[in-house]
C-alpha cells in the first residue's frame, strides 16, 4: 500500500511525493520498512525507514518541513552552514 500525502505544489518547496511499503535495504534486518520520496522541482530525496505507514509518512512530512524552514531563513539546503 502506498500513500501520496496532500501537500502544497509550490515548486520552491520540498514536498512528500510518495510513501510506500518496501523491502529492507541491503544489509538491514527484516521489518516493516517503507520507502519515501521528497521532491522539489527536479530534485529528489529518497529514504527508507521502519515503522507504520503513518509514522513514516509523519517522519517524511517533518523532514520536508524542516528543509522548507531552513530554506526560508536563508540557509542553503545543499551545503553545510558556514562556521563563524
Q: Which three cell numbers stand for residue 6?
A: 496532500
Question: What pLDDT band is residue 7 in, cutting at 50, 70 and 90?
Answer: very low
Tell me whether residue 77 is exposed, middle or buried, using C-beta atoms within 10 angstroms of its C-beta: 0 to 12, 13 to 18, 19 or more: middle
C-alpha 1/C-alpha 19 separation (Å) is 9
Are 40 and 63 within 8 A, CB to CB? no
Q: Which three cell numbers stand for residue 20?
A: 510506500
Mean predicted confidence (pLDDT) in 48-67: 96
pTM of structure: 0.73
Question: What pLDDT band is residue 26 in, cutting at 50, 70 and 90?
Answer: very high
Which CATH class name applies to 2-72?
alpha beta
Amino acid at each position: 500500500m502506498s500513500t501520496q500525502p496532500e501537500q502544497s505544489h509550490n515548486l520552491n518547496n520540498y514536498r512528500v511525493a510518495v510513501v510506500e511499503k518496501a523491502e529492507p535495504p541491503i544489509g538491514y534486518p527484516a521489518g516493516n520498512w517503507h520507502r519515501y520520496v521528497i521532491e522539489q522541482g527536479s530534485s529528489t530525496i529518497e529514504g527508507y525507514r521502519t515503522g507504520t505507514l503513518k509514522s513514516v509518512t509523519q517522519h517524511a512530512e517533518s523532514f520536508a518541513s524542516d528543509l522548507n524552514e531552513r530554506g526560508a531563513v536563508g540557509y542553503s539546503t545543499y551545503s553545510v552552514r558556514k562556521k563563524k
